[in-house]
Structure 1
Amino acid sequence: MAKIVAFRGLRYNLQKITDPNLVVAPPYDVITPDLQEDLYRRDPHNMVRLILGRINPKDTESDNRYSRAADEFDQWLAEGMLVRDAQPSIYLYDQEYPLEEGEMVVRQGFLALTRLEDFSSGMIKPHEKTLTVAKADRLNLIRACAANLSPVFTIYSDPCCVLEALTRKERERAPDLAVADDDGVRHRLWQVTDPSLIAKAQCLIENKPLFIADGHHSYESAIGYRDEMREKHPDFSGKELFNYVLMYFSNMEDKGMRIFPTHRLLCGLEGFDPTALLVGLSEFFHIEQVQIAASSRAGRRQVREKLKERGRHGHVLAFYCGGDTLHYLELKDDALMDRFFEEKSPRTLRTLDVCVLHRLILEELLHLDPEVQESRAYLKYVRDIDEPFEAVLAGEAQAAFLMNPPCLSEVRDVANAGEKMPQKSTYFYPKLLSGLVINPIFEGESVDDFPMC
């Protein structure tokens, strides 16, 4: 069973931070270079300086983005910009945002520490492949700062919504922190120190499998750090803080839970011929060529809605390579995917839209093997429906593949089968902010140092 514990989180000192909206940041992997610079300008204590510091041309092994993050972190602690809560706590964390139709919804969850488990235990389950470079980056950051600066996002299933009911009264009081991000999502945080409520949350989660929704790289890096620390401390008890990781938990039955699609851009592929590709695609797909208003926001949204509608009845992608012409690709027969998977592979994985793209189109027809795909030498990933069209029209991409997102049941089924989707298969929304709560991994401390009152 997963082991959940309360902890003494580090948080911004609101007596010294004039506007908390200016110091929080989105996850490191959605921060563009332009946004990074903007976050740097907002406040000298913005979290971007820790989670995604600038890279300088003169960086060395001893002076780099990680060492500078550690120096900033230590300085903020010394200045009292970050203060540690006195009592072991869990932290309720809600995110309110509008759906496309205008309805406001709230995704509820909470933050706590979770004992790190190898995936082989089956207690915590990934659903997505990770990238070696990204894991090394996050591991270097943990080594430098000895802290979980951002939470790993996990989901669990509870159709009865027990924890939501138990914490309703806590959420009725004013939040301890309320901020809004650049997308207009409202983030609210409540510190909970009530031992009975914490115990109920522990019992609920410890009886359920956990599925990593976001933060695969951070979780695997935390395991790597744990293993390094265990070698350094061979007499470890298992209760040291390096055996735990900061985690956010949310119920997959929550009506505020959404997955957005991640579209693929093809860039810089030598000899790419869209006409020849369409000929190859015709063997596997029913292809419908349509005229669209590619430079119009309204036209692009019509494509998104049409793709969503077609996806309810089969496996459909859209292929765009310029002008006002778009091709919808509908897989002729699910059995066509059998040749690209081992016989034991689950049906859910074989027929995922993202696997159809990566295995059949990218690997089989465009000859981009998995290693090349992982290197991102020819692929870029974007979320907004405008970006694929803008990139192709501007000549920044050769073509774009537009996707529907997987549904939660597919994520669950793939993870339960012990399989993984291609990288960047899911985009859970809203993203968790960095800077609400930090978990410091102080040597010499253990979870036994956080007794409940």
Structure 2
Amino acid sequence: MNTRGPAADDGLHLVPFRGLRYVPERVGSLAAVTSPPYDVVVRPDGLHHLESADPHNIVRLILPQAISPGTRHRKAAVTLDRWLAEGVLAPDPEPALYVYEQSSGDILQRGIIGALELTTPAEGIVLPHEDVMPHVVEDRAALMRTTAANLEPLLLTYRGDGDGPADVIERTVQRAPLLATTTEDGFSHRLWAITDPAELAAVSAGLAEHQALIADGHHRWATYLRLREEHAQPGPWNYGLVLLIDTARYPLRVRAIHRLLHRLPVADALAALGDDFRIRRLDDTALPEAMASLASAAADGNAFLFAGDGTFHLVDRPAPALLARTVPEDRPQAWRTLDATVLHATLLDHLWHIPDAPEDISYIHDTEAAVAQAERRGGTAVLMHPVREDVVRDLAQQGVTMPRKSTSFGPKPATGLVLRSLALD
């Protein structure tokens, strides 16, 4: 593993690695072995669908199924070793950075996958913007520790200025890719390897001038840092697998992550609000129209959409006195007025008294899935409006983290196109 060079002291240090990739001849199709990131595969039917798509689907590594956590993690390690021995997965012949492209309709995203040297938030190079849940970090750490692998890249963004990485990416995509596939969500994926020393140097020099925002993968980044602490000597555990996107060229979409409150029926959720919110019942309204009403209300202040009883309830205009009593004052105004802040500090903590625990709250990216699960379980889906990327970045640069699961940046990289084995670095 390369060491930090003098030009990279104050910025990103991305290094090549020998990627583990599926051998096309050993699987049904590359699309059939990919998966969304582990935290997007939230429903059992989604997990089973992926498992049945191909016996070697990557979900068997990122979300192994067994009775106990320890057994699950060991099962993933055994599966990874078996796939390597059987030639299902194989390492590339030499270390590389990888240009990765996703496209669908008018969406085009390109970035670079590599092993990024880990830094703490205090160093101001990689900026988190959300809190994490300790039990998730513990689970991901146990999985990475047991498999000695980074199974899926984090999604990081930076603001480029037409520097070396952009030029290298544009030249690289003119060549034939290592792989190309289209997943069932309609996204096309292509991957290229960069091994030329001059091109690697251009990428390194360009990124050394930048800091990055964690767009997706806060728990895995926290896991990387924990595992680095466990390995005192410099080496492969000082690096983690990431995808870096220059959002000056390829802006990401920012979506909300919704909350499913398992034990709180909609009627009880609404009753607890009293006169401190405006509540409007949206009868005979389809989900797209209801979300449009939420967007309109959110333009004027905090707003939420409750679902789970067969209709939608638009909740907005919280009483200023209530917010003054319940929202902490020791944070910037931009943080205090976030919908996620008001949801957690005012609604969950103060009015509903619901702990942020897995048995009480699920975090769901898909809007339809959140509504369907709430209706099936008799709970409440709290549907959110997304935060703008500039707000996220500004808070992160101030060292202020948002409530966990506040944003969903996308498109997210497909899991399974390239993996990193720490044993090879």
TM-score computed with the length of structure 2 as normaliser: 0.90
Whole-Å Cα distance in 2 between the matches of residues 193 and 393 of structure 1? 52
Whole-Å Cα distance in 2 between the matches of residues 29 and 22 of structure 1? 19
Whole-Å Cα distance in 1 between the matches of residues 54 and 310 of structure 2? 42
1:413 aligns with 2:394: yes
Offset of residue 203 of structure 1? 1.8
1:26 aligns with 2:16: no
1:322 aligns with 2:333: no
What does the per-residue CA deviation read over 1:310-332, in whole Å, with 9 as the maximum and x for residues that have no partner?
Answer: 32333322234524452331345
1:83 aligns with 2:90: yes
Conserved? CA contact 2:164–2:205, under 8 Å:
no
Counterpart of 1:142 in structure 2: which amino acid? M
Given candidates 367, 371, 376, the residue that maps to 1:385 is 367
In the alignment, structure 1 segments of 5+ residues that lack a partner are 99-103, 231-235, 447-453
Conserved? CA contact 2:154–2:242, under 8 Å:
yes
Counterpart of 1:125 in structure 2: which amino acid? L
**What is the count of residue pairs matched by the alignment?**
414
What does the per-residue CA deviation read over 1:223-252, in whole Å, with 9 as the maximum and x for residues that have no partner?
Answer: 22222122xxxxx2x2x1111111110123
Residue 289 of structure 1 corresponds to which residue in structure 2? 280
1:305 aligns with 2:292: yes
Given candidates 266, 273, 282, the residue that maps to 2:268 is 273
Moved more, 347-356 or 259-268: 259-268
Whole-Å Cα distance in 1 between the matches of residues 77 and 126 of structure 2? 29
SS at structure 2 position matched to 1:29? coil
What does the per-residue CA deviation read over 1:79-110, in whole Å, with 9 as the maximum and x for residues that have no partner?
Answer: 22222122221101111124xxxxx2111111
1:43 aligns with 2:54: yes
Residue 434 of structure 1 corresponds to which residue in structure 2? 415
Residue 187 of structure 1 corresponds to which residue in structure 2? 189
Counterpart of 1:97 in structure 2: which amino acid? S
Conserved? CA contact 2:339–2:384, under 8 Å:
yes
Residue 20 of structure 2 corresponds to which residue in structure 1? 10
Whole-Å Cα distance in 2 between the matches of residues 50 and 325 of structure 1? 38
Against the structure 1 CA distance between its residues 192 and 60, is the aligned structure 2 distance closer, same or farther, given a 3 Å change threshold?
closer
Q: How does 1:53-68 map to 2 (within 5 A)?
A: 53-56=64-67, 59=68, 61=70, 64-68=71-75
Conserved? CA contact 1:319–1:329, under 8 Å:
no
Given candidates 98, 104, 109, the residue that maps to 1:97 is 104
1:424 aligns with 2:405: yes
Moved more, 299-308 or 31-40: 31-40
1:401 aligns with 2:397: no
Whole-Å Cα distance in 1 between the matches of residues 311 and 264 of structure 2? 22
Counterpart of 1:416 in structure 2: which amino acid? Q
Whole-Å Cα distance in 2 between the matches of residues 275 and 75 of structure 1? 52
Whole-Å Cα distance in 1 between the matches of residues 161 and 302 of structure 2? 28
Against the structure 1 CA distance between its residues 109 and 398, is the aligned structure 2 distance closer, same or farther, given a 3 Å change threshold?
same
Against the structure 1 CA distance between its residues 187 and 278, is the aligned structure 2 distance closer, same or farther, given a 3 Å change threshold?
same
Whole-Å Cα distance in 2 between the matches of residues 272 and 314 of structure 1? 23
In the alignment, structure 2 segments of 5+ residues that lack a partner are 1-9
Whole-Å Cα distance in 2 between the matches of residues 389 and 119 of structure 1? 36
SS at structure 1 position matched to 2:401? coil
Given candidates 333, 358, 365, the residue that maps to 1:376 is 358
Offset of residue 275 of structure 1? 4.8
Whole-Å Cα distance in 2 between the matches of residues 439 and 114 of structure 1? 12
SS at structure 1 position matched to 2:24? coil
Conserved? CA contact 2:141–2:223, under 8 Å:
yes
RMSD: 2.4
Given candidates 193, 218, 243, the residue that maps to 1:216 is 218
Counterpart of 1:179 in structure 2: which amino acid? T
Offset of residue 426 of structure 1? 1.0
TM-score computed with the length of structure 1 as normaliser: 0.85
Whole-Å Cα distance in 2 between the matches of residues 5 and 338 of structure 1? 48
Offset of residue 257 of structure 1? 0.7
Percent identical residues: 32
Against the structure 1 CA distance between its residues 313 and 192, is the aligned structure 2 distance closer, same or farther, given a 3 Å change threshold?
same
Residue 207 of structure 1 corresponds to which residue in structure 2? 209
